[in-house]
Every structure is written in C-alpha cells, then in structure tokens.
Amino acid sequence: MTMQQTPLLMSRILGRGAQLDPEVEVVTLQESGTHRQTLKTTWERANQLAGALAKFGICHGDRVASFMWNNYRHLELYQAIPCMGAVLHTLNIRLSPSELTYIINHAEDKVIFVDNTLFPLLEPILKGTPKVELVIVCDGDVTFSQSADYENFITDHPTEFPWPEIEETAPMGLCYTSGTTGKPKGVMYTNRSTYLHTMAQAMTDAMHLSALDSVCGIVPMFHAMGWGIPFTASMLGCKQVMPDRFTSPQQLIKLMAAEEVTISAGVPTIWQGVKAILEEHCEKYDLSKLSRVTCGGSAPATSMMRWYWEVLGVEVIQGWGMTETNPLATLSRKVAKRSHLTLSEKDQFSNISKAGLPMPGLELKIVDENWNIQPHDGKEVGELLVRGPWICNSYFNNPQPDKFYEDWLVTGDIAKIDNEEYLIISDRSKDLIKSGGEWISSIDLENHIIALPGVSQAAVVAQPHPKWDERPVVLIIRDKDTSLSAESILQHCHLNFAKWQIPDDVIFCQEIPTTSTGKIDKKAIRKNLKNEEYILPDLR
C-alpha cells in the first residue's frame, strides 16, 4: 500500500472555506434587513454548537433534528452536527402533523432545533414524541418545559471543538421521502457519500461552484440537504446568501441583486415566478452578476430556460435526482461536451431540456419488467435504475426490497437514455397515462403546454375511461390579464402530438396542489377530481 487511507470525513472539508477566506460573508434576509456574519464566525459558532451538544449528551450516531428556514443558524447545524459524528435530520416544515410525528419517532430524534416562527407548527406534536429530550428555539421566548434558547445554549463554549476520528461510513445526515405512497422512508447519508457528492457537485461540468461565487440556495435546506449546496459552499468558501422565510419572487430578486448573487438553485415554480416579475420590471433590478441557476424537482420548460438565456444571459442548469441519490445524479449544461461547441443554439437547448448526463462515478440503466437492459438509443423506454457511491442501498429501519434490485436503486421513473448518454425522463411510473394500450407522457404534454404564452402553470393527469382505460386532462393556471381559451391550448397541443395524445379536457383553476417539496402533487389532483365527481366530457 503506497497511499494514505485518510477517512473521507465532513470535518476535514467543511471548515476549509473559513480557514482560507475567513472574512467572506454569510448573509441571511430578515424582516428588518439582513443579518451578516463571516465564514470564520460561522465556523467558530459551529464549534461552540458541537461543544454544547456534546455536553448535553449527544453521541456518535444520535439524531439531531432541524425544523428551520434557510438561515445562518441552520448552516451552523449543517457544519457542527455531521462533524461531531452525530446525524443531522432535516425535518420538512410542510409535512402534516401526523407525518412529522411519525418521522420524529421513527428517527428517534433526541434534540430538535426550531426557528421561533415555526414553533407553533411543532409545539402541538411534541407531546406525541417521547424520545425528544430537548427543543432549542432560535430567537424565541418560548416557555416550554424542555426548551432552551439557541444563543444561551451555545454561549461560553469554546470556539474550537476536537472533531472525532470516526469511520468514513458513519452516518451524518437523515432525510425522509415525501411519502407520496405509504409512510415516509428515511435515507441515511454517510460521511463518505456526502464527501464524494460535495466534491463532484463543485466540478466545472456539474454546478461549477467556486470560491468566487455568491451562492443563493433557494431550495429549502430541509429538502434533500438543500441539494448539498451548503456543504459545497462551506468547503469552497463561497459567499452564502440565505432567504430565510422571505421567498416571494420579488423578495428573492431584490436579495440576489443586492448581494450580487452569481448562482442560485430552486424548483421551476420559483424561476417561473421570478421570470414573471422580471418580464414586467426587468429594468428595476441589476442581476448582471447572475450567470447560472440550477433547476430541479421537476422538469423546467424549455421555453423558460431559453428566456433566461436570451433575455438575462443566465444559463439554466437542469438537474435530476432524488432523496435516495443524496441528491444529484444527472446535470444538463447548455454546452456539456467539447463535441457540442459547434452545435446550433437550437440543438443546445434540445440537450439542456433533457435530464442530463450522469455525474462522474454514477451509472444508469433502463430495464423492462423482466429486468432486461434496454438499449441507449433514445427510443426504448424502461424503468430507470442507478448506482454509485452516494446512492441509497436500503432505507433506514424500513426494508423495502422492491425498491432495490441487486446493487441498483429502482427509482420509479420511466425514462429513455439516448446514444449520447443523456437521461430523458418520460414520467414517474405512477403518472404515466395508458390510453388504448399506448403510453402518454404527462411531462411531455406539460412542457409543451407551458411554452404557450399566457400559461403560468400546467399539470396533466389521467382520468379513468371505460373504453380507453385512461385519458389525459390538463389543469391550467393562466397568467393574469390573459384571455387564453381551452381551444387555443388544445390547438397548440396538435402541433406536436398525435390526436390520441391530446388532452380530453382543459380545466382552468386558481392554484394547483404541490407536495411538501414544491413539486406538482398529481396524487392530490387525482383525489380532488374524484371527490368532485369529475367526469370526462365525452362521458357526460
């Protein structure tokens, strides 16, 4: 053996940015302005937090939960808890009380950190979580029998903590799936998996993060570890800009302009909202420093990505991943290969509309119902399987053998892979529409419809039909002050789709349900239509 076997521990990289460029800022938007502290202060406070938790009795492997917005204290938890050998369990603030109670009890959280504005959501369920020994409240005067104030909790502890030498396979993070089918399932990340994901995420061909960046992570830090951005930004020494609970499009635009943000990350609905504001008031905001935004959670419309490039000069990087993939698995850049330098802009956008190329170290394949591998020809469709060093191979205390095949994760996505190895997501298996024995992709229809001027949001779901099994219907949110008709939407669909693929109905609505992670909730849409006793037009 000729090389050192240094364990891949988060404690070896999360303080790097603070050491190399200590005066770089962490900025958090607040009601009265912005809170600012340096990377050095953040790292020192993370050390204090680790000391306080250790004194309280938190040991290696213990779960410590956060019920918080994107802010500087949450970042301190991201740094302290993994480095001390404990497990950061980020609680999704949008889950129902019953789901939260189940998750906290299943994880056996010992301590919960909560922002004072979120405490009213947490307090009613605490009586049903007997394993919780302490609740730490940030900026609050909450008088709860087992609570403490965050600042009082960490004060007087040393600004240096002796990070332990632990196994690189030791757990460091715990996230639960949104539970769209059955109980939420826990995915336990290890130091090794997150260390490797952090390195890969910073690559030029991935998110292209560097120490020069001012990063605004809009994706919630409770959603798949904020896509890993807080870890990568801490390692590199980026300026980190956090919106806390102030995430309206206008607030985000002002924050990004004021803090000279160069890269941001969020779901498509965020970028659609930002686009709507800028289309009317672009001259009011200076986003000249913004060079790229990462978009994930669901497929962004190609028309939106093209608008950002043509109007703002901002590249939209599409990413695909899951809680189970820690989370990034594929990324699509405007020009992703040297051989693409000569591609026309039309072909570049054709590629960027795909889910992307696998990140280095990951493998993808598609299989039929008998696990036979399908060709990568961009035509054959199959269930997507993925494996690699930051991919889940089992759920936390919850065996789900049907979710894994040999050493592969069964994603539940129906997909194609083309001859250039681009992943093309056709649909979630449960969202595909089978009509007359043929499959219809709801995603393809949605992306085409949302490109039509006047459409703010679109969701396509199946409805039962006695002859055809299922038929598609589309829910539409129109832009304000538009007179877009159902006929014009269907006529637009005829441009790209066969007659049998065209939705049977257009339903205009004021809002479309979303999941706790900001995705369109098609399960809720189907349930609502059933409760409303909806009937397809040709069956009325």
What's the CATH number where 138 sits?
Answer: 3.40.50.12780
CA distances from 251 to 142, 172, 245, 315, 497 (A): 28, 33, 10, 21, 39
What pLDDT does residue 140 have? 75
Residue 507 sits in a domain whose CATH number is 3.30.300.30
Arithmetic mean of pLDDT, 131-149: 86
What pLDDT does residue 334 have? 92
Q: Which of 142-146, 420-424, 485-489 has the lowest mean pLDDT?
A: 142-146
Q: Is it the case that residue 174 has pLDDT exceeding 90?
A: yes
39-80 residue pLDDT tens: 999 999 999 999 999 999 999 999 999 999 999 999 999 999
Q: Is it the case that residue 181 has pLDDT exceeding 70?
A: no
Number of structural domains (the chain) is 2
Residue 487 covered by a domain: yes
Residue 523 covered by a domain: yes
Concerning whether 379 is annotated as a catalytic residue, the answer is no
What pLDDT does residue 282 have? 80
Domain limit, last residue, from 190, 224, 239? 190
Q: Is it the case that residue 182 has pLDDT exceeding 70?
A: no
Total residues found in the chain within this entry: 540
What pLDDT does residue 1 have? 67
Residue 296: pLDDT band (50, 70, 90) is: confident
Distance CA 372, CA 368 (A): 5
Per cent of the chain over pLDDT 70 is 98
Arithmetic mean of pLDDT, 173-182: 76
Residue 483 covered by a domain: yes
Q: Is it the case that residue 180 has pLDDT exceeding 60?
A: no
Distance CA 160, CA 344 (A): 54
Q: Which of 183, 284, 434, 527 is catalytic?
A: 434
Per DSSP (E only), the strands in 282-374 are 292-295, 315-321, 328-332, 357-358, 363-367
Residue 104 covered by a domain: yes
Distance CA 88, CA 79 (A): 9
Residue 456 covered by a domain: yes
Q: Which two tokens stand for residue 489?
A: 């939407």
Residue 216: pLDDT band (50, 70, 90) is: very high
The three-state secondary structure class of 530 is helix
What pLDDT does residue 251 have? 97
Concerning whether 279 is annotated as a catalytic residue, the answer is no
The three-state secondary structure class of 35 is strand
pTM comes to 0.85
By the 10 Å C-beta count (0-12 exposed, 13-18 middle, 19+ buried), 480 is classed as exposed
Residue 169 covered by a domain: yes
Q: Which of 40, 180, 403, 439 is catalytic?
A: 439
426-448 residue pLDDT tens: 877 778 787 876 778 888 898 88
By the 10 Å C-beta count (0-12 exposed, 13-18 middle, 19+ buried), 138 is classed as buried
Concerning whether 530 is annotated as a catalytic residue, the answer is no
Q: Is it the case that residue 518 has pLDDT exceeding 80?
A: no
Residue 345 covered by a domain: no
Domain limit, last residue, from 162, 190, 218? 190
What pLDDT does residue 432 have? 76
Domain limit, last residue, from 163, 190, 217? 190
Concerning whether 280 is annotated as a catalytic residue, the answer is no
* Amino acid (one-letter) located at 172: M
Residue 53 covered by a domain: yes
Give the list of residues 6+ apart from residue 431 with CB closer than 8 angstroms, or none.
442, 443, 461, 462, 522
Query: Which domain covers residue 515, as residue numbers?
Result: 439-539
359-399 residue pLDDT tens: 999 999 999 999 999 999 999 999 999 999 999 999 999 98
Distance CA 248, CA 348 (A): 31
Residue 517: pLDDT band (50, 70, 90) is: low
Q: Which of 324, 383, 446, 470 is catalytic?
A: 324
By the 10 Å C-beta count (0-12 exposed, 13-18 middle, 19+ buried), 76 is classed as buried
